[in-house]
Amino acid sequence: MRVTTGSLEVLECGVVDSVGMSDVDCLVAETPRMWTIFRVRRTEAEAPPMAWQVEDGERLVITMNNPQPNSGPAEPLLIGRLRSRPLHISFRVTVFGDYQSFQVSYTFYLGEAVA
């Protein structure tokens, strides 16, 4: 099956429930090794609702601070390149209980090949 939306092709999608408030780690590709990590935090201090950083050159850590129900970007975010194609991600985060666990629904997309 091939799934597309707009000019993007769905690479992988799913829904994951965290164990407690542990990070959700997604191995996007073996070669080159590429991870996306979802982290949810409740903070007392003023913090941006969403932040991301690259760690160790292969891990994209997306941190959601004090997320509201179904928090996430309105449009897919360009996060890199995979197999000579732009790699995008879309996701939604929902927290359960008083920060007992969270759920991430995610979609990784590939854009048009660029020569």
Is residue 11's pLDDT more than 90?
Answer: yes
The confidence score (pLDDT) of residue 113 equals 76
Mean pLDDT of 13-31: 96
Q: What is the pLDDT of residue 44?
A: 85
Using an 8 Å Cβ cutoff, are 40 and 19 in contact? Answer: no
pLDDT score at 115: 60
Measured distance CA(73)–CA(102) in Å, rounded: 17
Task: Give the pLDDT mean for 43-69.
Answer: 92
% of residues, the chain, pLDDT over 70 = 98
The strand pair at 77-82 and 85-96 is best described as: antiparallel
Mean pLDDT of 4-10: 95
Sequence length of the chain is: 115
